[in-house]
Structure 1
């Protein structure tokens, strides 16, 4: 007995190769943008990093000399140390403020929409604008912070908050938390709202206290959301530039120069475009390495789960 295949059903089934080409066609515009605005610039930067590339004049091939140079560049190493310090402190401070805010606005209470809006409002302000605003707030003569500290009895006269490293660093951290915490809060809020309410209610009925529910239920279920917020915060902190350029101009005593600020100085102040390009490639490698480690830790957590 001969079995006749259902030709009509086979004819109507899309071919795998056709589906693959259709998928490539769909992502082609995004691929073109990535190639045009990321891949090609990175390749050009890598090529520039292998040259002595002045702003004016002929370029000269020097191989990896720019990369060898940065090993003994004490100012670059100092910028790396300061950027690492800033990244750790800023990330911890942002999460310390954003997580309680997310827990606060996640509850159904009166005016919760207004609370969310007010907390998120600083996010829509540009970082350069926010930096200029806080320069004015910290001004000794016309600022608001100095008179407030005097009124609270903390100081006897208005301090110059941007004159010393400690006070300037603290002022910038407070400004960044004020500016960014609302964005991190929204990310964490989406994770909180994705937790099934019946699971939380079951834990509460079983006698789990609020801290136990947070420790053993909320945090594990929000691990992916926290990882996303952490990657965004760490990446943004490593790439920090505006606040240091506008608020302190790298001071006092050039102790607040971040890696991006140092790249800017080398490329557009000293016009060492080749060396600035090599610094940019190294910074890109650091960002990729940190992201890989964070994603690997997230995968390890999945395996344990």
Structure 2
């Protein structure tokens, strides 16, 4: 039985490696993991993952439907300018159309030659970087003021979050940022993109639609707006997450649920402004809080757009097992 459990965990770890290897340029840290993956020693792979990751978490939990889920998550720095949160969920055959491996890949890249050298990931203002604000009809994120004021936080280059279901279908949302942070500690969002790959509907890419008279309370309007062909929007629905909307009548719902580790507590729906807002759950800087719980992210629950729903149990970064700060820093 113990070996069977270990093999199941290893299957999840192998999937995390596949996600990591999707990047075009892989540095030595991830190459080490790849080489160990080929050695056939399950325990050696586990040990090297723990060595290479800044943080890790693995737990067997239940989703909102009562299905057992093995969730494994690592936070890696494949190079000095990149942070990857790699999350894989494995459900058994009794989970119906959710059975198999579902994944989340949340990747952030940074500008400049130094990148993240010398930084501990827990000291970075994730709660601000992931909260969208509006100034003069333009989206931006605050980059925060460092405690000592004699140096700045790293400048953001690009972020994306990609969700994949057991059929290999995916939803990927990306955004990229302007140059260095302004004197008021913010960076403008220069563009956003939504990429969809569906067995039923093919592969499509959309750009975010910016309303002409955008104000912060109307960041994501409650009423559906008419979108030009090729654009997408976000429509908030109280108590039911939000919809990605398009020029046609189709939409894709994203719902969020707070679930505990054991399936004993009540399943509660949680609202977020957008996908970036969900990624900052349990962080500081006024981020949404769900306590010592996990966040289930359910995309297209009725499988109207995709062949199967995309459903991932995300372990907030606050619940990860972090290394000591001294061992995290790059010299």
TM-score, normalized by the shorter chain, greater than 0.5: no
Which structure has the higher relative contact order (CA within 8 Å, separation 6+)?
A: 1
Structure index of larger Rg: 1
- Structure richer in helix, relative to its length: 1
TM-score by length of structure 2 reads 0.23
TM-score by length of structure 1 reads 0.24
